[in-house]
Amino acid sequence: MKHKLFLIVLSVAAICTIGIVWRQGRSRDAVDSELARVGELSYQVQSLVGVKGVWVLVDYLDEDAMSTGVTEDQFKQDVESELRLAGIKVNSREERSAFKDGAYLHVDINTVTYNDSPNIAFSVSIELSQPVGLRTGLSMSVRGITWHDRSMGMCPGSAFAERVRQDVKAGVDLFIDEYFIANPEK
């Protein structure tokens, strides 16, 4: 009887061990699969893997741009709203201060006007800045731009607000698409 009980206990232990080893191998396969998937992405998209949320910074609107009726706050609200609707966490200023190493999405709008022209030339730059590690002997983290999109154009001042909003939206939409390629919902 002791011999049969010993064989039963040994069999159960072997089945459990095989199950654990199989599950570990399966999770290792999942990790290997995820690493292979990420490795096929562009470096810019790879840099979005694991980003949990962003703080939004909009700046550099000059007097000529603001004379068309747009404000930095409007662009900031537009960008934050789009990110939230997509399901990307938007950090508040306080959260960013508490986590100084967090990522931020920088929307930079530059303009040039000419006295003899009703047109405004502009550039829109959307950049994700986040902590990056140096590969030197120093164990140090610095902030770097790891993702970006840029556009430029020229339009009459009367069309400036709508045109730049479209360019900002296109850049943010690209960021959102690539964010979810890097961080697929599971």
* Domain definitions of the chain by residue range: 1-40, 52-182
* pLDDT score of 96: 60
Dist CA 25 CA 30 (whole Å):
9
Q: What is the pLDDT of residue 150?
A: 96
For strand 53-59 and strand 89-90, is the pairing parallel, antiparallel, or unpaired?
Answer: parallel
Across the chain, which has 186 residues, the per-10-residue mean pLDDT values are: 48 46 47 52 86 89 81 92 96 66 88 86 94 77 90 92 94 95 83
Distance CA 70, CA 100 (A): 29
Strand partners, 143: 131
List, in order, residues 6 or more apart from 53 with CB less than 8 Å away. Answer: 88, 89, 90, 91, 95, 102, 103
CB-based contact 61:71 (threshold 8 Å): yes
Asked: is 52-182 a CATH 3.30.160 domain? The reply is yes
**CA–CA distance from 169 to each of 13, 38, 80, 81, 174 (Å)?**
58, 26, 11, 11, 9
pLDDT reported for residue 172: 97
Q: Which positions ≥6 away from 142 have C-beta within 8 Å? A: 131, 132, 134
Three-state DSSP at 143 gives strand
pLDDT, position 59: 86
- pTM here? 0.75
147, 175 in Cβ contact below 8 A? yes
User: What is the DSSP annotation of 30-64?
Assistant: HHHHHHHHHHTS-HHHHTTTT--EEEEEEE---HH
